[in-house]
């Protein structure tokens, strides 16, 4: 009995010592973990592991979608170009350019379609001196080069009358092309096309002012009404004096007012030669890209063009300038010796300051919106 009582006393003493140790150690634990771990070092690695598991992960910034767009100037597939295509196919006209341009990498490839796309390429009344109509199957071949969009707003869209306009829209829709634009000087709901590319919304708006001026206030309203609903507003506009490299004060006034209304980028055509560009309110205005595929073989200038590779990400526009040469309607990259002269001239037509001139020569223009 005495042995049992002695054991009980020993157990009570051990318990009392443990309680006293707890009262001593827990204040240390609350104020100084390192001191505590000197007593129980095997717990330290477990506690660190526990903290590593429950620590929140850093939040990374979302990756912005980068859109890649490619735009050309005037595209005409009738007259002498049609005669070439009867003997050859579209590859003959574009294979040289395709050897240095990866068309497949672009989310959109577009051009100004300088004529109507009628059934079987038929010509209808009224007969005109310059009268263009294209065969749908020929236009369809452009799909091979990733073309997906055409601006129709120009002075040749109505060459085949109202019937030609109706057939053009029907044929392009059936072929799977996007398009926007009315006949010269007209504005309607057809002036606007809305596209979803990746997770971005684009407004593609087209106007023409060759024989008559369009209603500027109506044009500005289209832009301002759509501005808050899309990420990018891109304007195509048919304007300017033919065969003149210098853009006019009237073009500049129109272009700047469209930018003030919400346009992000303006791309011009019609003069059949390249005109200068400017950056207004951190928005680029290209007054004319010149000819892309045409049959104006009578001068060197009408066989030069400019394509634009546009990189659009968040509030930044990156523009790569690609000068083109044409040889009997074959679109080709401009030769290096000619390209340097062309870029010098382009800077002059643009009235560029030293900063813009340097970017033009480098063929890369970066703009923060």
Are residues 32 and 88 both part of a single domain?
Answer: no
Task: State residue 9's pLDDT score.
Answer: 65
Task: State residue 46's pLDDT score.
Answer: 46
Task: State residue 365's pLDDT score.
Answer: 98
For the cut 80, the answer to whether the pLDDT of residue 30 exceeds it is no
The helix/strand/coil state of 68 is: strand
Q: Considering only residues 50 and 15, tell me which one the structure prediction assigns the higher pLDDT.
A: 15
The average pLDDT across 195-211 equals 98
Range of the domain at 147: 67-368
Indicate the pLDDT class of residue 16, thresholds 50, 70 and 90.
Answer: low
Q: Please, what is the average pLDDT of the chain? A: 89
351 is a domain residue: yes
Nearest CA to 75 out of 177, 162, 191 is that of 177
For the cut 60, the answer to whether the pLDDT of residue 3 exceeds it is no
Task: State residue 62's pLDDT score.
Answer: 54
Task: State residue 55's pLDDT score.
Answer: 44
Are residues 20 and 120 both part of a single domain?
Answer: no
For the cut 90, the answer to whether the pLDDT of residue 339 exceeds it is yes
61 is a domain residue: no
The average pLDDT across 94-105 equals 97
Q: What DSSP line would sit under 314-368, residue for residue?
A: TTEEEEEEEEEEEETTEEEEPPHHHHHHHHHHHHHHTT--HHHHHHHHHTEEEEE
Distance set, CA 40 to CA 22, 23, 28, 48, 64 (Å): 13, 16, 12, 14, 50
For the cut 60, the answer to whether the pLDDT of residue 23 exceeds it is no
Q: What are phi and psi of 66, to 5 degrees?
A: -105, 115
210 is a domain residue: yes
Other residues' Cβ atoms within 10 Å of the Cβ of residue 61: 5
Asked if 124 and 161 count as a contact pair (C-beta separation under 8 A), the reply is: yes
Are residues 73 and 45 both part of a single domain?
Answer: no
62 is a domain residue: no
17-26, 81-90, 158-167, 191-200: lowest mean pLDDT where?
17-26
342 is a domain residue: yes
d(Cα 67, Cα 49) in Å, to the nearest integer? 44
60-64, 180-184, 351-355, 356-360: lowest mean pLDDT where?
60-64
Distance set, CA 267 to CA 73, 100, 208, 278 (Å): 9, 23, 12, 11
Are residues 200 and 89 both part of a single domain?
Answer: yes
Are residues 14 and 133 both part of a single domain?
Answer: no
Are residues 123 and 6 both part of a single domain?
Answer: no
Alpha helix ranges (H) inside 32-72: 33-39, 42-54
Domain count for the chain, please give it.
2
Among positive and negative, which fits the CA dihedral 319, 194, 228, 240? positive
Domain with 258 in it: what CATH number? 3.60.21
Are residues 241 and 316 both part of a single domain?
Answer: yes
């Amino acid at each position: 009995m005495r042995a049992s009582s002695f054991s009980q006393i020993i157990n009570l003493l051990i318990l009392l010592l443990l309680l006293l140790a707890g009262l001593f150690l827990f204040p240390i634990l609350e104020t100084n973990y390192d001191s505590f771990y000197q007593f129980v070092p095997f717990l330290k690695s477990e506690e660190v592991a526990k903290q590593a598991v429950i620590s929140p992960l850093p939040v990374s910034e979302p990756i912005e979608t980068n859109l890649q767009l490619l735009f050309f100037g005037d595209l005409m597939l009738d007259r002498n170009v049609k005669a070439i295509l009867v003997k050859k196919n579209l590859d003959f006209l574009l294979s040289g350019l395709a050897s240095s341009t990866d068309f497949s990498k672009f989310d959109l490839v577009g051009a100004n379609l300088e004529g109507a796309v009628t059934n079987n390429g038929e010509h209808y009344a009224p007969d005109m001196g310059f009268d263009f109509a294209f065969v749908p199957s020929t236009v369809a071949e452009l799909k091979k080069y990733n073309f997906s969009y055409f601006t129709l707003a120009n002075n040749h869209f109505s060459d085949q009358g109202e019937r030609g306009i109706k057939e053009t829209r029907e044929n392009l829709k059936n072929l799977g092309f996007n398009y926007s634009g009315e006949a010269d000087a007209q504005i309607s709901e057809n002036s606007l096309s809305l596209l979803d590319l990746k997770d971005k919304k684009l407004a593609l708006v087209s106007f023409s002012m060759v024989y008559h001026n369009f209603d500027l206030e109506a044009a500005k309203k289209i832009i301002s009404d759509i501005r808050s609903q899309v990420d990018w507003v891109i304007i195509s506009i048919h304007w300017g004096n033919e065969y003149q490299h210098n853009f006019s004060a009237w073009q500049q006034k129109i272009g700047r007012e469209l930018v003030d209304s919400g346009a992000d980028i303006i791309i011009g055509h019609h003069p059949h030669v390249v005109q200068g560009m400017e950056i207004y309110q951190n928005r680029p205005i290209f007054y004319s890209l010149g000819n892309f595929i045409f049959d104006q073989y009578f001068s060197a200038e009408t066989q030069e063009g400019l394509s634009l590779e546009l990189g659009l990400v968040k509030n930044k526009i990156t523009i790569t300038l690609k000068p083109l040469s044409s040889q009997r309607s074959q679109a080709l990259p401009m030769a290096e010796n000619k390209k340097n002269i062309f870029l010098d001239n382009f800077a002059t037509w643009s009235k560029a300051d030293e900063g813009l001139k340097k970017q033009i020569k480098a063929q890369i223009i970066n703009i923060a919106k």
